Amino acid sequence: MLNRVLEPEVMDDPSEAAAYDAMNHDGVNSLFVSDIHHSIFPKTLDGPILDLGSGNGLIPLLVQKAFPNCAVVALDAARSMLAIAQKHVAKFPPNQIGLVQARVQRLPYGDGVFKLVISNSLVHHLPEPWAAFVEAWRVVAPGGWIFLRDLARPETNGDLEGLVKTYAAGESDTAQRLFAESLHAALTVVEVRDLVTRLGAKPESVFASSDRHWTWFLQKPASQGK
């Protein structure tokens, strides 16, 4: 198994944020939101949604469309990313999307505030993911849902190079480098299962959802306060 090689925690360099935004994430983003919607359906949501590491804001827009009765908080630590998100969100008024700059390790919210907490491709940016998992679980309302997805670290350099060729061959050199670095910085399914088990969640709620992703999907027990 490849050792984890960390990348910068916050993508706040304007050129790298722009390079990320220029990449075509439409298919992955649409699948992410569709999987959330189908996992929760036919239950309805009647409360706020929190997107951790919302990046360029395209996922919050899709989430707002899937759950039109819910306000969405798009939270990211990078000003450069939030500036891009603001431009995207402004193209589709009216909407119930609020942009917030904050770190996931210390969320500015009380316990059990959100009916749904989501995140796509955030965890691999975090040197010590434990605090983020604690905070994400803390702000989910009893009976609410958590849906986190990220890249999974490949076993070998050959596997990593194969994924880059398969999914980023048509992208710029910068985009290919960013994807490779993200794969190298990602956690494995086993590592994520260890984290959620420490929270008291079922390890089987974490699973490999593609050849390059893991997903954690779980409904918080209604009787559990944190």
**Taking the model in full, what pTM does it have?**
0.93
Q: Which CATH architecture has domain 14-219?
A: 3-Layer(aba) Sandwich (3.40)
User: Are residues 205 and 216 in contact, defined by beta-carbon separation less than 8 angstroms?
Assistant: yes
pLDDT in tens, 138-159: 999 999 999 999 999 999 999 9
Residue-wise pLDDT tens digits, 38-49:
998 766 788 899
CA–CA gap between residue 23 and residue 206 (Å, rounded): 27
Domain ranges of the chain: 14-219
